[in-house]
Amino acid sequence: MGLNSTEVAYGFGQLGAAHMRGDHGEDLTPPDGMVIVAITMLSDTQFDKLASDTNTTLVYPGGNQTNAYIGIIGNAGGNSEILNSTVVFPQGMTIYGRWTRLSLHEADTTGGIIAYFGY
C-alpha cells in the first residue's frame, strides 16, 4: 500500500490551478502563502513577467543549498541566466519551479497557460 504524502502532493500543484490567456496588463499571482510550482503551455508562449520566488529560507534535504532561479524578474542565481520576453516556450511544455507572479507577453486566443499552485 502506498503512503499518502501531503508534502509531495502540496509541492506539485494539487492545491489548485489557474488558466490565463489574455493580456490586459494584469499579473497572475498565486493565493496567499503559495507559489506557482508548474506552468503548462497550451500554445507557444512568451512571458512579460515570470518572477522567481527567491525565498532563501527553503531547505531541500540532501541537496545543494545554492539556489538557482529561472525567471524574467528576479535573481539569476547559480549559473542560471535571467530570461527575457523573446524566449518562446513551445506548446505542450511544462516547466517546474517557484514563481510569485507571471504575465503573458501578448494575448493568446487559442490556448494560453495553466499555472499550478503549491507551497
Question: Is residue 8 domain-resident?
Answer: no
The pLDDT value recorded for residue 68 is 53
Question: Is residue 9 domain-resident?
Answer: no
Confidence of residue 69 (pLDDT cuts 50, 70, 90): low
Amino acid at 15: L
Question: Is residue 22 domain-resident?
Answer: yes
Question: Is residue 90 domain-resident?
Answer: yes
The predicted model scores a pTM of 0.76
Question: Is residue 94 domain-resident?
Answer: yes
Confidence of residue 52 (pLDDT cuts 50, 70, 90): confident
How far is Cα of residue 106 from the mean position of the Cα atoms in its chain?
A: 18
41 with 93: CB under 8 angstroms? yes
- Tell me which residue range forms the domain holding 112: 17-118
Number of compact structural domains in the chain: 1
Condensed to tens digits (0 to 9), the pLDDT of residues 78-94 reads 555 667 788 899 999 99
Three-point CA angle 45, 19, 42, nearest 5°? 40
Question: Is residue 95 domain-resident?
Answer: yes
Question: Is residue 5 domain-resident?
Answer: no
